[in-house]
Amino acid sequence: MFKFSPERRRPIILLIDDDMVSREVMATVLTMNDFIVHTAEDGEVALRMLEAQECAAGVILMDAQMPGLSGAELIEQLRARSRASIFAISASQLPDEVMAAADGFLQKPFGADALRKLLEKQHPAPAPEPKQRRAEPVVSEATLAQLRALMPPAAVREIYAAVVTDLAKRLDALEAAIARKDAAEVRRIGHTIKGGCAMAGALQAAHLGAQLEAGSDNLDNSARFVGDLRNALGNLERMLKTEFPA
């Protein structure tokens, strides 16, 4: 749990992330820790919320790699509409101009302690690089235990059901992008799978997403990941039935 001194109020959070799974997991964890959280699926929506004074944010957490308005340009426009501290969040290292424009950086997946330190001290606290493993677990036991401690089983099941649904859609989009030989879209899909699945602790799928993003220039190689990702999807579905029977 986040701990603040009694005289210090928790800031209102505006969370901007185009990936539904990442957005919902982060918002759930923050809400369970007594923060007021507003969410926006992209930069344009966030700007409209601020202009309409729907959200008096003290802290803005924004994914730095979104379609449309993003990065340093989005930070500039947010600052014109809000005095909130702006922290970039991403599953990858960011360009220098984004790092310079933001007040701090958190690398997905990040834990409660890293976020607490960033909110309290306003300096970046990147999560350590994951260790390479021969057999990647389907789901992080630590993340699953944390979610079980924070919310009832039905809510945890909803999160992983959303991961399964989202991953299935990403796989369909991935196959279409590979068929079109669209390496940029393959890279974007890999990045999204990596970030969203990592936030939910779906390690096997997140690791494959990272490999897909890194090797997207070789589309023949990318095509090989489709089968592996479908296998990871099947493993997640089996985990869901085993851990959270309907």
Q: Where are the domains of the chain?
A: 13-121, 141-243
Q: In what order do the strands lie in the sheet with 13-16?
A: 37-40, 13-16, 59-63, 85-90, 104-107
3-state secondary structure of 246: coil
197 close to 167: Cβ distance less than 8 angstroms? yes
Candidates 35, 39, 36, 37; CA nearest to 16 is 39
Residue 197 near residue 71, CB atoms below 8 Å: no
> What is the CATH T-level fold of the domain 141-243, as seen in this structure?
Four Helix Bundle (Hemerythrin (Met), subunit A) (1.20.120)
Domain 13-121 has CATH 1.10.260.40: no
pLDDT of the chain, 246 residues: tens digit per residue: 333 333 345 778 999 999 999 898 888 888 887 778 899 999 999 999 999 888 889 899 999 889 989 899 999 999 999 999 999 998 888 888 999 999 888 888 776 667 777 777 654 434 445 444 445 688 988 888 888 888 899 999 999 999 999 999 999 999 998 888 888 898 899 899 998 898 889 999 999 888 888 876 666 666 677 888 999 999 999 998 988 886
b/e per residue 215-229 (b: at least 16 CB within 10 A): bbeebeebeebeeeb
Tokens, residue 96: 């220098």
